[in-house]
Structure 1
Amino acid sequence: MKIKKYEVYDMKEAMALIKKELGPDAVILSTRKIVKNGSFGLFSRPMIEVTAAIDYTAKREVKKPKENYNPAPEKNTDDSADISKITDIINSLGLNKFEMLLNDMNEIKKQISEMKTAISENIALDLPKSLQEVYNIMIKNEVDDVLSYKFLKKIENRIPENSTHLQIKSIAAQLFGDLIPTEKSYFSSLKKKVLALVGPTGVGKTTTVAKIAANLALKLQKSVALISIDTFRIGAVEQLKSYAEIIDVPLRVASSPTELNEIILEFEDYEYILLDTMGRSQYDTAQIDDLKSFLTINPLINVALVLSMSSNHSELGDTFNRYSKLSPDYLIFTKLDETRYFGSLASLPILKKVPILLMTNGQNVPEDMEIPDGKKIAKFIFNEIPNLWRS
């Protein structure tokens, strides 16, 4: 038996070489992707290592034994029979075609991506050129493309003739700001309610709870109580405990939905109750379901989904969709100081019809927090040169 390996760019090339060198009776034993040293990583063309074999002994003519000569059958001293069986299985199952199938799938994905890009670029072709320029600004700042188009199409007739580019942007920003749903006064909206902050790990839930508590207790002189159900991260509870001691508010930890409900009843005389929850991956549906059992235990609980602006628009939209089973009443956007693109501050609230409750732009407690303003958000979105929020 002769076994040989080939390094090729596609199966067509491999089959030609195998047929030429080993003959038409050769079989493919295996295929796998390889990365050649000295290549240019992701931008290099992938190669395939194909292992093929030909069993020349199978073709030899078997001589007839002499009469009255019955030797014992020889033991098979090589693995040719096993290899033949393996290759038969590989070929019968079509496993040697997997590489071609993967290449086809990658090509389809590439074409779909190109189609999406083309649709995004051509969706606004029926807008006047002046509004196409505004559309491009909105897209650059990560406003949803369909939302951008529908908005500009709706206000097309409200733009006076001969308006300058700056005037058109100003009008568009003013009208777009009116569309962004915001909660004007969190301190009046949340009175005698329990505000639960939920969201993925690392978005800043615990720090945001501390900021809200400090503003209510220290600046507005309100009675505030804190609850944590983040029993998975001891550090998070200790951090919140430190904040609670500094601003002199009570903190309790609930380890079950029943215990949470009992603590809420104990705190019924407080004007505000803030609930810090464990960070959950948006992809772990079981953990989000577990969290839901806490949040539905008492009708006073309102849910605020905390989202970090360090993520892009698609990631934020995906996170919202996965947390939607918790029926968020509000959105809180954190880490505004870590991006220059604020389109998601408008797209998500408008498309999901959920108002922004608060925004944070730093780690300082309680300073780096502000009440949302649709006009201010739109102003940053319509900047042709994206600026930092604090600027």
Structure 2
Amino acid sequence: MKVKRYIVNALPEALPIIRSELGIDAVILNTKEIRVGGFLGMFGKKKMEVIAAIESNANAVPAVRKPTSAPKPAVSPAALSHFAAMVSSAASVSAEAAAPESGRLLEDAVPLKAHAVQPVISNRSGMENELINEIRDMKQWIQKMSKQQQLKTWPEPVQELYERLIDQEIELKWVDKLMAEVEERIQFLQGSQPDKRFVWQSARSVLNEWLKDFEGERIGEQTRVVHFVGPTGVGKTTSIAKLAAEQTLKAGRKVGFITSDTYRIAAVDQLRTYANILDVPLEVVFSPSEVTRAYKQLEDRELIFMDTAGRNFRHELSVSEVNSLLQSHDRSETYLVLSLTGRYRDMSAVAEHFVKYGIQSVLFTKQDETNAYGSILNLVMDYGLKPAYIAYGQTVPDDIMPFQTDSYVEKVLGAAGDE
């Protein structure tokens, strides 16, 4: 397979060049906006990178040449875009993988097996899947190598910031966006090298700007019912006990408990133990039809905390089952409880299902068991979820606090910028 890279101002400029150089059977593998030129890898001009390919044993046929045999159907821009989108979904090619000169051929550092590439994809055959996997591997390799080269061009404090963000497990797309905004602030230095303090202060400013509208609120004084949902083992019951103790001992409110977590016998016993310690009533429900009865039993309570069963919420059916227990109430709130020790991929799958039901607030647990906090930022940026509380231990009621943007940003960036 012959693969070529083009740098143009806009995609339409690339199409005639590709047809002329590679022929009418060429396909576009990927398009991406990049920056070229600039100073120390920064302040470059925006261009469009286009990756095109042609089967190596196919003869390049210029678009103006008339075929002497039965012609193959011309590849329309729509078909090219369709295939490009399909391949792009597998992985994205890094912008800095090769020199920015237009038309430079990518070196065959990662070999590709020769397979015919069809311009219009109906059903993916085994051959097509194999080709897509090969392209994905090539892109990942190019992305890794190009990122290493790009890091070398950055000033040392900027490199340290990038490595810190990656270490915090922030998604690469948000790391790149943050670095771009930090670079824009550095340009005001007019060519002088930025020091670590300036770089960290710039990053703090950007993160605070991103998060300022997503800081969740504490349990409101007018709230009557608070629901807690989330996967098994994330600490829902302990978090309920902490907040209930806060509301009982500090706010002086009359609190009641409802639990539907009857899948685990220990879960009911655990909440019953907290209820006895705090001297608050507990109602156990086994189906949505019993929730109304539980509310009636607790009608003298000013605030009701409802625990739900931990399930595999990566599946929407489990989410819908739990949602049926969250009966409508004018003064209710629902917190999605997630552990900071979990993988972001799993947290994202859970969040994606719950946001469909209007859940907007998150309570994060086990902050004391990890040093990586990027998943909070990822959930805010990907789903618009609002962090409300952070829990960081087992002590009731002390080890929980409202989420504060300034404190969170300091944990993400660390103290390196103050050295």
Q: Which has the higher helix share?
A: 1
2:407 is aligned to 376
User: Quick check: 145-154 or 238-247, which moved more?
Assistant: 145-154
What letter is aligned with 1:354? L
Which of 210, 214, 219 is 1:187 aligned to?
219
Question: Alignment RMSD, CA only?
Answer: 3.1
Kept in 2: contact 1:194–1:302 (CA 8 A)? yes
Q: Which of 243, 246, 260 is residue 274 of structure 2 equivalent to?
A: 243
Unpaired segments of 5 or more residues in structure 2?
1-124
SS of 1:295's partner is: coil
Which structure 2 residues correspond to residues 273-312 of structure 1 after superposition, within 5 A? 273-312=304-343
Considering Cα pairs closer than 8 Å and 6+ residues apart, tell me whether 1 or 2 has the greater RCO: 1
Name which of 369, 391, 394 aligns with 1:360: 391
- Are the aligned partners of 1:182 and 1:373 in contact in 2 as well (CA < 8 Å)? no
Equivalent-residue separation in structure 1 for 2:141 and 2:235 (angstroms): 33
CA gap of 1:132–1:375, structure 2 versus 1, over 3 A, is same
Which secondary structure state, in structure 2, belongs to the residue aligned with residue 333 of structure 1?
Answer: strand
1:204 aligns with 2:204: no
8 Å contact kept, 1:178–1:375 = no
**Letter of the 1:186 counterpart:** R
Question: How far, CA to CA, are the matches of 1:357 and 1:111 in structure 2?
Answer: 42
Structure 2 counterpart of 1:259, from 257, 281, 290: 290
> How far apart in 1 are the matches of 2:330 and 2:288?
13
Query: 2:176 pairs with 123, 126, 149, which one?
Result: 149
Say which of 164, 169, 174 aligns to 1:137. 164
SS at match of 2:228: strand
Alpha-carbon distance between aligned partners in 2 of 1:117 and 1:235, rounded to the nearest angstrom: 48
Tell me the secondary structure at the aligned position of residue 186 of structure 1.
coil
- Structure 1 window deviating more from structure 2 (137-146 vs 190-199): it is 190-199
For residues 242-274 of structure 1, the C-alpha deviation after alignment (integer angstroms, 9 at most, x for no partner) is: 101111112111222232133335534533221
1:339 alignment counterpart: 370
Secondary structure at 2:403's aligned position in 1? coil
Gap change, CA 1:216 and 1:106, over 3 Å in 2: farther
What is the distance in 1 between the residues matched to 2:224 and 2:146?
Answer: 47
* 1:319 paired residue among 341, 350, 364: 350
1:219 maps onto 2:219 in alignment? no
Letter in 1 for 2:375: S
Secondary structure of 1:115's aligned partner = helix
Give, in whole Å, the separation in 2 of the partners of 1:257 and 1:318: 25
- Residues 258 and 297 in structure 1, CA contact (< 8 A), matched pair in contact too: no
1:112 aligns with 2:136: yes
Matched to 1:112, the amino acid is R
Partner of 1:29: none
Aligned residue type for 1:274: F
Deviation at 1:359, TM superposition (A): 0.8
Task: Give 1:87's aligned residue.
Answer: none
For 2:203, the equivalent position in structure 1 comes to 172
Could you tell me which residue of structure 2 aligns to residue 158 of structure 1? 185
Check the 8 A contact 2:162/2:179 in 1, yes or no: yes
Q: 171-180 or 218-227: which moved more?
A: 171-180
The 3 A distance-change label for structure 1 pair 281 and 106 is farther
**Paired amino acid for 2:165:** M
Aligned partner of 1:221: which letter?
G
| Structure 1 segment 14-93 matched on structure 2, within 5 A | none
1:337: Cα distance to partner? 1.2
- Give the Cα separation in 2 of the matches to 1:218 and 1:338: 27
Specify the structure having the higher radius of gyration (Cα).
Answer: 1
Cα deviation for residue 204 of structure 1 reads: 0.6
Name the count of aligned residue pairs. 284
Distance 1:251 1:121 in 2: 58
SS at match of 1:294: coil
Change (3 A) 1:274 1:381: same
Q: TM-score, normalised by structure 1?
A: 0.64
**Residue type of the alignment partner of 2:324:** S
Provide closer, same or farther for how the CA distance between residues 307 and 111 of structure 1 changes in structure 2, counting only shifts above 3 A. Answer: farther
Moved more, 253-262 or 333-342: 253-262
Q: Alignment identity in percent?
A: 28
Do 1:196 and 1:276's aligned partners in 2 also have CA atoms closer than 8 Å? Answer: yes
- Normalising by the residue count of structure 2, what TM-score does the alignment of the two structures yield? 0.60
Post-superposition offset of 1:310: 1.0
Residues in 2 aligned to 1:226 and 1:368: alpha-carbon distance in whole angstroms: 20
